[in-house]
């Protein structure tokens, strides 16, 4: 606490006048603030992570006169061949048991046996929803030549 310069009584620092004698108190000058907008802009976040810094060191190179085997990079990575060389074993060719055709079978979506049973049961007992059985389907393999149903 400070004292009043007129009466000498204690004064509050946040008042403009003495509450005992009414004398105007000297105002302390406010601290001089610098312009809050007078600073350099911060760098973007990516610069803080050193993502865009450049490396000024010389690159490491292999000593001259050494040759690498084919398919090996200087880092030691070995490349795999692009195609299989040598014999390849494929699955045995398809043969239809009914017509002995070698064409591969086609796949058809048909209403399953369970779907027909559901269709019939709902048709008899609850007519408005009989069509639900027609939605139950299964994949069936069919020969392209003789249209015979094949077991999977």
- HSE-CB at 28 with a 13 A cutoff on CA atoms is 8
**Could you read off the pLDDT of 77-102 as tens digits, one per residue?**
666 666 666 666 666 677 888 898 88
- What is the model's pLDDT at position 146? 93
Distance, in Å, from the CA atom of 25 to the CA atom of 1, rounded to the nearest integer, reads: 13
Q: Where are the domains of the chain?
A: 1-28, 106-150
Which residue has better confidence, 67 or 101? 101
């Amino acid at each position: 606490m400070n004292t009043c310069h007129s009466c000498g009584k204690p004064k509050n620092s946040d008042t403009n006048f003495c509450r005992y004698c009414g004398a105007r108190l000297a105002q302390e000058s406010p601290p001089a603030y610098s312009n809050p907008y007078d600073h350099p802009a911060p760098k973007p976040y990516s610069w803080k992570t050193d993502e865009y810094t450049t490396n000024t060191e010389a690159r490491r190179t292999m000593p001259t006169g050494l040759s690498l085997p084919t398919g090996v990079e200087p880092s030691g990575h070995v490349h795999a061949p692009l195609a299989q060389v040598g014999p390849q074993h494929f699955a045995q060719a398809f043969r239809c048991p009914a017509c002995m055709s070698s064409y591969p079978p086609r796949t058809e979506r048909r209403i399953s046996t369970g779907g027909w049973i559901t269709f019939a049961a709902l048709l008899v007992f609850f007519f408005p929803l009989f069509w639900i059985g027609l939605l139950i389907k299964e994949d069936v393999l069919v020969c392209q030549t003789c249209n015979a149903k094949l077991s999977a």
